[in-house]
Amino acid sequence: MRHDRLWLLGGAFFALVVVAFGFLFFIRPEQQDTDTIRSDAADAQLKVDQQRRELATLAKQHEHIEEFKAALAKDQAALPDADRASDFLRELQSAGELTGVTVSGVSVGSAVDLKALVGFEVYALPVSLTVAGPTGKLNPFLDQLQVAQPRAVLISSINVAPTSTGSDRSNVTINLQAFYAPLS
């Protein structure tokens, strides 16, 4: 074979080798890194867009921050970070007076840890109430306990019994649980 053809073929082969080597070992990895970076950039862009939307929402909500603070305070009153038993007793007394019944007896048991049941640190105070009053005013008292008063309670049992035969007054025994959860 002539020398010029050898040079031509060799040069073409060497050029191919140069192109392949450069592509496989330099260009392609760089392109892959570039694709990864672009994907991350796209995700980051989505996150940025979400942040912008959140900021816009926060900007609007910030105008009602006092309402949010009041809601937080209400929630904290419903589930205080401590037992607040005294406050709870005052609330019961107030509820009875408001509804026209008499809270004759209140017994508060020891706190029960419900973390195993609910998965977070929360304690339940077992409370037993004895309420006497007209039968027609028992329901408002129950509503006061469950809806109106700040402390959240879970009534587990109710026993309504008339005080006497043919009487309109009833004695109500209510077993309930008051909760508190320290904020972590």
Partner 1 sequence: MSEPVWKREAGWNEPGWKEPEPRLTGIVLPSFEDPAAAEDLDEFERDRRARTAAEDLDELERDRRARTAAEDLDELGRDRRARTAADELAGLPVPVVPAGPPPAWPPAAAEQEWAPEPAPVAAAPRREFPRFIHGEFVLPADDATQAETATLAPPAPSGGFDPLTAPVDVLEANTHAPAAPEGLRNALPSWGMPAAPPPSPPAAERWERTPTLDIPDEPAEPVAVEPAPAPPAPPPQAVSMPPVSMPVETVAEPTWEPVVEPAAARTAPIPAGEEPTAPVPVVPAAATAPQPVVPAAATAPQPVVPPTATAPQPVVAAEAATAPAARKGPWDGTPHPAFPDATARTFRILPIAADLLPLEISETRHVRRVRRLVISGVVLVAALVVGWYGVTVHEHTLAGDDRQSILDTSQDLTRQRHKQYDELTRVQADSGKIDERLKKVLDYDLSWSKMLASLRTTAAAKNVTLSGITASLNQESLAGQNQGDIIGTVTLTGKAPTKAGVAAYVDALTGVSGVTNPFPSDATQENDGVSFTIRVDITRAALGGRFTSAAPSASPTGSK
Q: Please, which of residues 147-176 interact with partner 1 by CB under 8 A? A: 147-148, 152, 154-162, 165, 175
The rounded distance, in Å, linking the Cα atoms of 122 and 138 is 29
Q: Which of 1, 24, 62, 85 binds partner 1 (CB under 8 A)?
A: 62
x-or-dash string of contact with partner 1, 73-92, rule CB under 8 A: --xx-xx-------------
**Of the candidates 144, 147, 146, 108, the residue with the CA atom closest to the CA atom of residue 129:** 108
Check residue 26 for interaction with partner 1 (CB under 8 A).
yes
Nearer to partner 1, 36 or 104 (CB): 36
Check residue 182 for interaction with partner 1 (CB under 8 A).
no
Q: Name the DSSP class of 23.
A: I
Give Cβ neighbours of residue 52 (< 8 Å, ≥ 6 apart): none
Residues 113-132 that bind partner 1 (CB under 8 A): 114, 117-120, 122, 124
Give Cβ neighbours of residue 177 (< 8 Å, ≥ 6 apart): 112, 124, 125, 126, 127, 153, 154, 156
Q: Nearest distance from residue 40's CB to partner 1, in Å?
A: 5
